Structure 1
Amino acid sequence: MNETSTDQRTAGEDSVARTYEVVIVGAGFAGLEAAKRLGRAGVDVLLLDQNNYHQFQPLLYQVATAQIALSTVARPLRSILHRERKHVTIRTARVVAINAAKKTVTTADGVRYRAEILVISSGAEPNFFDTPGAEEHAYPLYSVDDAARLSSALLGALERASANHDHSTNQNFTVAVVGAGPNGVETAGAIAENIRDVVGKYYSHSFASSCAVHLVDMVDTVLPPFSQTSQQYTRNRLEKLGVKVHLGSAVSEVSDTDISLADGTKIDAEIVVWAAGLKASQLLEPAGLTTGRGGRIDVAKDLTAPECQGVYVLGDAANIVDAKDRKLPQLGSVAKQSGRWAAENIRADLTGRPRREFKFVDMGYMAMIGRGQSVAELTPRRYQVQGMPAFLGWLAVHAGLLSGWQQRAAAVVSWARDYLTTSRPHAVIYRPEAYEIARYARTDDSSTV
């Protein structure tokens, strides 16, 4: 390890542990790809993340709906980077401050690291858009912890409603999903399928018929990035699954019993899933970087921060444009490609070569609607595929993107079982406190349980 300073401590100041050639904040798609490429090239890297694992965010909704196990989407960082361990140091620590000008990073334990080149890929967090009650009562779905909480809460609310239904109180189990983008559509479809195929099997058909899923968004269509043909197909499939779609009216308030829409509609909801959008980590603005849309950094075409030399911003922390100056969406494919490209530019910086402008390879969009049903629009020409062919393509792409052969094998086995049966062996309580809140929170009718 090329350490230019070790264990330098000054009384009254945060310690400066070491200076590395590259410090990467965040082990998401972008940060992990950059660390891999740089480690293989022999560059000394420090990778910082508050978790000791990399999470595969596109499949979190399947963890929440018991289609796959939590271990399928979370793989330890040291397992992923074991071949690069000579050059990549991993520290599990929460970053509390970044100084972009000085290229330093401070962690919650008071240790400060300095970089010759700093990479900020600090990810994002749910954007509740200051909606009253949303942060307190809604369940976001952006991290493994979010998926575990939502999964347990769904089980708790389901158990509570079932018990009350058995006592002839006609208690319904209702879920509202806020946000009709890919994450919201996939989550709503998966929950609706569970109600149709699993609740009736393990509880009762009369109870299942009283359950409902609502999909809500202020925009006037589902899957805004897709074509009108794909949007209409998706809405039709969702409604066939029993999802009640409410578009064109924003959520004005969320409570522990319902959500209110701007048009005056009120929807009863045992569980509210928030898939309405993300904003960049709150670390960015205090770091001395000018933020743009979504609190993200408008990076230069070579992926560097305009104000600071030697600072790269990637993934959900960055607003990245393509060759035609169009802002790219916050997708895993963009993050992975930006991480690889930044690694090559960093190697150019370290060897005195010029950087290259980022060129994104657009493979298109995909979204799962339910068992055997997906939509895909492939390549920049947006070739449209629907139904079973798109479903199989979605499975193949996501299996290939998972990190590790064990995770891929586990996902394929789970998908095969899910397609052939209606069992849910992964329906376990990950977070007992979330289960208890959803199971017993309301006391108005708890005596009937």
Structure 2
Amino acid sequence: MKDSYQVIIVGGGFAGISTARELGRKGIDVLLIDKNTYHQFQPLLYQVASSQIGVSEVARPIRSIFRRYKSVKVLHETVTSIDAKARSVVTDSGRSLSARILVIAAGAVPNFFNTTGAEEQAFPLYSVADAIRLGTKIDEEMNAAAPEPDSAVDVLVIGGGPTGVETAGAIAENIRYVYPGYYSPEFARRCTVHLVDMIPKVLAPFSEQSQAYTAERLKAIGVRLHLGTGVSEVRDDGVTLADDSQIPGQIVVWAGGLKAGQVITDSGLTTGRGGRVDVTPELTAPDIDGVYVLGDSANIVDARGDHLPQLGSVAQQSGKWAAKNIIADLQGLPRTPFGYVDKGYMAMIGRGAAVAEIGRRRIRMKGFFAYMAWLLVHVALLSGTRQKVGAVVSWTQNYLTNNRSHVVLDPQN
């Protein structure tokens, strides 16, 4: 493998894959580097953890995505350092690679906001490995507690954004509808899901109507809301809140936010909110030529100057747009500012219940129609045909029955 390329892309997430695919269609020489052999669909990881869908529905081999693009090469190694000014990277094998244009789409890591014990005790949900660990922990705790008299399992979800709401709703529905058939109904009734957030409302980016409906539906399936007070400590037996009150629980799920990883911090790039890079309107790193920063590694603003959320749709669109600008760079043509198409927000609450605010005008939907819209959008976003078909089959079974056919297996056990 040669050491210099037209384009090196660090990261095989939504942004990196979109960029590489567009460049591959033009026959541009690309090296895509990612430590994983698969591209993971992060919005559905909570469904893997709750056994609603299988790993094969959210993970697709990266090499299979680019088998038709002969100019795109894939390297499965971890990038340990980035020299942005030199447009070069070093991998964990000691390999040094450089390019005419460097694209940094290295994703993010959980942001625990220096909360005592959170990194050691809480379960983040940002990777397939995270989902497997969480699903295994839930299964272990349920199986251990079920035979004991008067026992219960409490799950605490930290974060009232879409990931927190969807995770809390999925686990609560399992407790309410699935576990009574697996364990005793009495045991299932004693188990509880708690949703905790320092913000006084769930789904902060949504309208008040969507927030109210979401809170109502969560309560209806047994989720206990603790809003308006942050978490000061995470322990192995629960959490302590900022007002010194405590919530006991065997499992703490962290859905409290993300930040850029250390490889971005050490890259020589100027970072802003969340440790991410404040990119130019053309998606390039400021003051450094030939470097693009995308996805969860970047703070991107729209034409009005508003910060765009860390969503898969933003990452995908930015990846495609960056590819257009890279092609312009290689041809000596001017770049164009990123033209983001606002598709709105969605969040699944449970079976037959979701909220959606579509487009820039935020056309609001809730209940079953929002649920169906959520399903259609996520089917469209899934990477491959195998993944789309598998997800549809699983969702249909989950809607019609109180059974979960998927098993979450921790390879370390």
Superposition TM-score, scaled by structure 1 size = 0.91
Secondary structure of 1:284 counterpart: helix
- Hey, what does 2:122 align to over in structure 1? 138
Structure 1 position 428, deviation (Å): 3.5
Ranges in structure 2 where 5+ consecutive residues have no aligned partner: none
- Hey, what does 1:259 align to over in structure 2? 239
Structure 1 position 431, deviation (Å): 4.0
- Hey, what does 1:268 align to over in structure 2? 248
Percent identical pairs in the alignment equals 56
2:236, 2:250 within 8 Å by CA — same for their partners in 1? Answer: yes
Secondary structure of 2:93 counterpart: coil
Name the amino acid aligned to 2:94. Answer: G
2:48, 2:408 within 8 Å by CA — same for their partners in 1? Answer: no
- Hey, what does 1:427 align to over in structure 2? 407
Ranges in structure 1 where 5+ consecutive residues have no aligned partner: 1-5, 7-16, 434-449
Name the amino acid aligned to 1:176. Answer: L
- Hey, what does 1:147 align to over in structure 2? 131
The 5 A counterparts of 1:108-257 are 108-164=92-148, 168=149, 170-257=150-237
Question: Whole-Å Cα distance in 1 between the matches of residues 240 and 314 of structure 2?
Answer: 35
Secondary structure of 2:33 counterpart: strand
Alignment of 1:307 onto 2:281: no
- Hey, what does 1:412 align to over in structure 2? 392
Deviations 1:120-170 (A, max 9, x none): 000000001111111111000000110011110110111111132xxx2x2
- Hey, what does 2:365 align to over in structure 1? 385
- Hey, what does 1:90 align to over in structure 2? 74
1:60, 1:147 within 8 Å by CA — same for their partners in 2? Answer: yes
Secondary structure of 1:246 counterpart: strand
The 5 A counterparts of 1:343-382 are 343-382=323-362
Larger Rg: 1
What number of residue pairs does the alignment pair up? 413
Question: Whole-Å Cα distance in 2 between the matches of residues 171 and 20 of structure 1?
Answer: 59
Question: Whole-Å Cα distance in 2 between the matches of residues 263 and 228 of structure 1?
Answer: 26
2:357, 2:365 within 8 Å by CA — same for their partners in 1? Answer: yes
- Over 3 Å counting, the alpha-carbon distance change for 1:432 and 1:206 in structure 2 is farther
Name the amino acid aligned to 1:122. Answer: A
Question: Whole-Å Cα distance in 1 between the matches of residues 27 and 386 of structure 2?
Answer: 27
- Hey, what does 2:298 align to over in structure 1? 318
1:152, 1:432 within 8 Å by CA — same for their partners in 2? Answer: no
Secondary structure of 1:180 counterpart: coil
Deviations 1:305-363 (A, max 9, x none): 01210000000000000001111000000000000000000000000110000010001
2:354, 2:374 within 8 Å by CA — same for their partners in 1? Answer: yes
1:375, 1:385 within 8 Å by CA — same for their partners in 2? Answer: yes
Structure 1 position 173, deviation (Å): 0.6
Secondary structure of 1:362 counterpart: coil
Which one of the candidate residues 333, 336, 343 is aligned to 2:313? Answer: 333
- Hey, what does 1:10 align to over in structure 2? none
Secondary structure of 1:301 counterpart: coil
Name the amino acid aligned to 1:266. Answer: Q
Question: Whole-Å Cα distance in 1 between the matches of residues 71 and 288 of structure 2?
Answer: 25
How big is the alpha-carbon RMSD for the aligned residues of Structure 1 and Structure 2?
0.8
Question: Whole-Å Cα distance in 1 between the matches of residues 73 and 408 of structure 2?
Answer: 34
Name the amino acid aligned to 2:238. Answer: D
2:284, 2:290 within 8 Å by CA — same for their partners in 1? Answer: yes
Deviations 1:69-101 (A, max 9, x none): 0110000001111111x1000000000000000
Structure 1 position 225, deviation (Å): 0.4
Name the amino acid aligned to 2:30. Answer: V
